[in-house]
Amino acid sequence: MRVRPLLPFLLGLATVSAQTPPCASLNAQNNTVSTAVTAASLTGPTAWGYQVTPSTPVAVLALQIFTGNTSITPGSMTLEVWSDANNLPGTRLGGGTWRIWPSLGNSWQGANLDTPVLLAAQTAYWLVWIEPGFSTVPHEPGGTTIPAARRSGTTWSALAAPAALKYRILCNRIDGASVANYGQPCGTTQGALGTAFSNHEPKVGNADFSIEGTGFSNGAAAALLIGVNPNFVTTPVPGLPTGCALHTDILVNFVGKTGTGNQRANVITVGAAGHVWFQLGIPASGSLVGTYLATQIAVLDASSTAALPFVMTNALRLKVY
C-alpha cells in the first residue's frame, strides 16, 4: 500500500547483476504480444489459468508474464502456482502480488512467491493470473499454446482454445538490470515468506522506480530500510524472530502499511492484500549515475512472540544508471 519518494542524497559504488535467466519459460524470446485486452467483470477481478508440465524438476521462487494495464489503475495483479485437479486448477501452492504501473507499458512483470514451490517433472501444474480487467492479454500471436482455463466465482472451466502464454518461471527471486538480491527472507508465523522485489529499472529520471513487497499479513505496519554501505554483511539482530536478520545498514527508513483488498483495490488507500510498495523516484540528474543503495522491508508480524516481532525480507542492492 503506500509510500513516499526518495531524496537524491545516496552515494556509493557496487557491482550488481543483470537479470538472471529463467529456469523455464514459453514464448519468451521476444516482446510480441496480443493487442487484445481482458474483459472487466462486474463481480471483481478475473482469474485465468494456464497448464504447464515441466520436463525436469523446477524450484519456483518467482513468476513473470508479459502484460500491462493502463486502464484500471492504480490496481494490482497476482501470479500463483496451483496444483492440477482433472485438468483444471486445483489448490493454490504459492503466489505473489505486484502493483500495476502504467509507465511500464507492456513488459515482463511479476512477483516473488510467498512460498517456494517445487514442480515435479512430468507433472501438470497451473499458472494462475489474477487481474482487474482491461489488461493486455499475455499471449503471443502464433506462439506455442498450452491448455487454458478461466474462473467464474469459485468454479474453473476449461477454455475451448489453448493459449500461447508468454511466461517466465524463475528459480531465483526477481532481479534485473542493476538490481541484485542479497540475503534471505524469514517466514511469518503463518508460514509465508515476505520478500522484496522491483519491476522497475533504477534509471535516471524514472519517477516511478519502486520497491515492492509481497507475502505479508494484511494491514500490517511496514518500513523500508535504506542503506548505502555496499560492504554490509548480514547481521543477526537480538530480539528478531529466529532466522530473521538485517541485510543492510540503515541510513533512513520510510513507513507504510500492507494492503487488505483485492486486485482492484486502490493501491494508494486500501492496497492489495499482503502487499506493500515504496516509491523511490529517481530525479533526472546525470550526477546520480552510479549511486548505490540497498533496501530491505520490515513488516510487523502481530502473531509473533519475539521481542522485535518483524518479518525481514531479502535485501535489494541497486546502482542507478
Domain boundary assignment for the chain: 24-170, 179-319
- State the fold for domain 179-319: S-adenosyl-L-methionine-dependent methyltransferases (2.20.130)
Which burial class, exposed, middle or buried, applies to 56 when counting CB atoms under 10 A from its CB (0-12, 13-18, 19+)?
A: exposed
71 band by pLDDT with thresholds 50, 70 and 90 = confident
Equal fold, 24-170 vs 179-319:
no
> What is the biggest distance separating any 2 CA atoms in the chain, rounded to whole angstroms?
57
Rounded-to-integer distance, Cα 184 and Cα 181, Å: 9
Cβ-proximal residues to 179 (8 Å cutoff; 6+ apart), any chain: 16, 17, 198, 201, 202, 316, 317, 318
- Give the model confidence (pLDDT) of 141-154 as tens digits: 999 999 999 999 99
- Give the model confidence (pLDDT) of 289-313 as tens digits: 999 999 999 999 999 999 999 999 9
**Per-residue pLDDT at 5 exceeds 70:** no
Cβ proximity of 245 and 312 under 8 Å = yes
- Give the model confidence (pLDDT) of 217-239 as tens digits: 999 999 999 999 999 999 999 99
Cell of 280: 523511490
User: HEC string of 221-253?
Assistant: EEEEEEECCCCCCCEECCCCCCCCEECCCCCEE
Q: Classify the C-alpha dihedral 303-217-95-89 as positive or negative.
A: positive
Task: Tell me if residue 182 falls in helix, strand or coil.
Answer: strand
* pTM of the shown model: 0.94
Rounded-to-integer distance, Cα 136 and Cα 72, Å: 11
As a whole number, the mean pLDDT across the chain is 94
- Give the model confidence (pLDDT) of 174-224 as tens digits: 999 999 999 999 999 999 999 999 999 999 999 999 999 999 999 999 999
Written out in words, the top-level CATH class of the domain with range 24-170 is: mainly beta
